[in-house]
Amino acid sequence: MSRPQPQSGFNFNRDIAPQPQVRQQQPQVRQQQAGRPARVPQPIARGFHGVVVHNPHGGGEAWYWNRGVSWAPAPIYWGGGFWGPWAFADLSAAILFGSIVDANNNVYQSYQVEPNSPGAQVLADYGLQQTPCGPPNLVVIWGPDNSVICAFQNAMVAPGNYQIDPSTLTLVSQ
Amino acid sequence: MRRLSFALACVLSVAVAFPARGAAEALVRVQQSDGTTQVYRNVHATLSGTTLWLRSPDRKDRLQIVSAACSFPHDLQRCLPYQVILHKPDRTHQLTITRGVFYVNLTTEPHHLLHSSQVVAPHGVMVFLHTTRGTYVSAIAAAEVAAAHAHLSRLLVLRQRR
């Protein structure tokens, strides 16, 4: 039922009403052959201080890949939206792609990268193919906001932990 | 030429990061979780960087939609809304959203959304939101809403030609 509102204020009464006491449901996710989560000694290094694996398609200038516009993470999305529009509150739209467990037993879930995302461009630039995290000897790529994905190694990128520099879309080994 | 290109890129970044402003009328549709739907015409839409302001037909309420993670898949700018605030005359309410998407067409040509027949008009804006209370919001501001972004399109075209 559609009701035109010629001269009225916005009706969001349901959204601004006091929060009812309900038990929150765990989001259900589709899982794809997630193996046993891999244990990695140091999953997240801060800053970019390792060996840079130069992006073969990189322009060198900051944000060249985004038409010169700086990219900033959107807080309610996994990886800030770098890997796709996967909102934490609705991860049913995303496909679970394994997970990583760090030395402190923190579990980092991984999801399939959306084809049109900045993360997909990283994979394409380096010729990497995403695979579920879990098995050993994978390329483990840490993105914004403690997000992680995994890929098979290739001639350009050896197995190990890498962090993405979002400004240049380069991988920095940890 | 390289220096010119770099200067152009800088202008472009600044222009997008420090917003040009544009305003126009928008059509807003709010579908509540019980299925009832309100359609608001003559909504005043203002685009300020990656924040869209929608002012209700009675000019009393404003909906502020803040987004980030902007990128350019194909020909449209796509951003992800993460904060929505309803400004009533007497109070401000934060609406909790589960997800959303925000498209801006900075070009002078209409462009389809990916995998959709929906078209975003030249300099148009399209926003879709889903709140935690099950409300769906869509806002379409066609033509001229991003008129102030028109110069960006020209810069983009110039840059692509170089």
Q: Which residue among B12, B61, B71 sits closest to A9, beta carbon to beta carbon? A: B61
Residues ≥6 apart with Cβ < 8 Å to A24: none
A136 CA: distance to closest CA in chain B (Å): 31
Q: In the structure, what pLDDT confidence band is assigned to residue A2 with cuts at 50, 70 and 90?
A: low
Average pLDDT of B115-132?
A: 90
Asked if residues A48 and A148 have their Cβ atoms less than 8 Å apart, the reply is no
Query: What digits encode the pLDDT tens for the residues A126-151?
Result: 999 999 999 999 999 999 999 999 99
What one-character DSSP code corresponds to residue B16?
A: H
Please list, in sequence order, all residues whose beta carbon lies within 8 angstroms of the beta carbon of residue B50, skipping any fewer than 6 positions away: B19, B66, B67, B68, B70, B79, B102
Verify whether the Cβ–Cβ distance B71 to A118 is below 8 Å: yes
> What is the overall mean pLDDT for chain A?
84
Cα R_g (chain B), whole angstroms: 16
Q: Is A2 on the interface with B (CB under 8 A)?
A: yes
Give this complex's ipTM.
Answer: 0.81
Query: Tens of pLDDT along B18-46?
Result: 334 556 789 999 999 999 999 999 899 98
Please tell me the pTM assigned to this model: 0.79
Chain B partners within 8 Å of A18 (Cβ): none
Q: What is the domain range of residue B142? A: 2-161
Contact B97, B129 (CB under 8 A): yes
> Structurally, how many domains does chain B consist of?
1
Rounded Cα gap, residues B43 and B41, in angstroms: 5
Give the residue from chain A lying closest to B70, CA to CA.
A71
